[in-house]
Amino acid sequence: MTESMNEYYACPGPATDPGPHAALYQTLPAGVSQVVRAVQGLQVHVFWLPAYKINPPQARRDAEVNLRPVQRRLSRLLELDPAPLKVRRPLERRLIGNCRDFSVMTVSILKARGIPARARCGFGTYFMPGHFEDHWVVEYWNQGLGRWVMLDSQLDAVQRRALHLDFDPLDMPPGKFITGGRAWLMCRREGANPDAFGIFQYKGWDFVRGDLLRDVLALNNLEVLPWDFWPAMATPVVDLSPNELARLDYLAGLTCGGPGALGQADFEAVRQAYEDWPEAHVPGEWFE
């Protein structure tokens, strides 16, 4: 655990490694805002399809949103359209994904540029008033500013207009996105209603715990799918022992906060906590 936090997040993990497609990134522009725009031209969000007036077959939607590693997503993207990645695809030839997929591809490209970057799992406050929507975003190290910057790479012009955003999604202020750990502590210690956190009919304590654990994995360079399930999630939160709840409280404390709140000590601790908890580990074949 002697590796610095920035060194660690500059290296790809199993989900963000482009593998044989690494050379494709060389055609992309270097700036972060241009990378985000490029990612938006390669993918379309499965829940926003009506806003773009396209209706792909359900079988295609199901198949593409279940592609975990970036290299498999890139392979499918090239099947749809073999053009260089700098070329914005027509909507019907964009890869179907979700917020996790926009974040993971952005992180993958930034890492390939040598820019420390990590996906974060939690809840967006800007989709529905009074509701914390299940969501993923990106944090990257901005050398010029000397700080971690949080951005939402999903929000293109269509979505920004629909949501009437009052902030810059490329440099999000604190409070717009709530990490899974922060949401857990809001519910545990501040009286927040866990049923206000989720998506569609899925909400409550188990959902909040799930986003906390997904964020812990993402901080360990393991970005799972939003609906993945593994042993650490098996016992309902209402049935957890005091020691099990204390473990989650501890993890939440390490991971919560606004952009860049995770320091070197917390980074080392959250990696060690993951290593020491076998039930939190996910199958390696998920990323093959």
What's the pLDDT at 256?
84
240: left (phi over 0), alpha (psi -120 to 50) or beta: beta
What is the residue type of 202? Y
Mean pLDDT of 246-273: 86
Which residues contact residue 256 at a Cβ distance below 8 angstroms, ignoring those fewer than 6 apart? Answer: 179, 181, 182, 184, 185
Q: Please give the DSSP secondary-structure letter assigned to residue 148.
A: E
Token duo for residue 144: 């010029």
Q: Please give the DSSP secondary-structure letter assigned to residue 169.
A: T
**Percentage of residues in the chain with pLDDT exceeding 70?**
98
Average pLDDT, the chain: 95
Helix-, strand-, coil-residue percentages of the chain, each rounded to 5 = 50, 15, 40
Report strand pairing: 197-199 vs 202-203.
antiparallel
Mean pLDDT of 198-209: 98
pLDDT-derived band at 1, boundaries 50, 70, 90: very low
What's the pLDDT at 263?
83
Q: What is the dihedral of CA 178, 46, 24, 137, to 10 degrees?
A: 0
What's the pLDDT at 57?
97
Q: At how many degrees (to 10) do helices 205-218 and 180-189 cross?
A: 140
What's the pLDDT at 145?
93
Mean pLDDT of 55-67: 98
Q: What are the distances in angstroms from CA 249 to CA 84, 126, 181, 189, 245?
A: 45, 26, 8, 10, 6
pTM above the 0.85 mark?
A: yes
The answer on pLDDT for 132 being more than 90 is: yes
The answer on pLDDT for 87 being more than 80 is: yes
Report strand pairing: 132-142 vs 202-203.
unpaired
Q: Please give the DSSP secondary-structure letter assigned to residue 82.
A: -
What is the residue type of 112? A
What's the pLDDT at 2?
52
Could you tell me if 89 and 41 are in contact, meaning their C-beta atoms sit under 8 angstroms apart?
yes
* pLDDT tens figures, 137-194: 999 999 999 999 999 999 999 999 999 999 999 999 999 999 999 999 999 999 999 9
Q: What are the distances in angstroms from CA 76 to CA 67, 73, 156, 223, 270?
A: 9, 5, 22, 19, 33
Could you tell me if 87 and 27 are in contact, meaning their C-beta atoms sit under 8 angstroms apart?
no
Which residues contact residue 243 at a Cβ distance below 8 angstroms, ignoring those fewer than 6 apart? Answer: none
What's the pLDDT at 259?
55
Distance CA 15, CA 13 (A): 6
Give me Rg for the CA atoms of the chain. 18
Question: Read out DSSP for 25-72?
Answer: GGGS-SSHHHHHHHHHTTEEEGGGGGGGT----HHHHHHHHT--SHHH
What's the pLDDT at 3?
73
pLDDT-derived band at 265, boundaries 50, 70, 90: confident
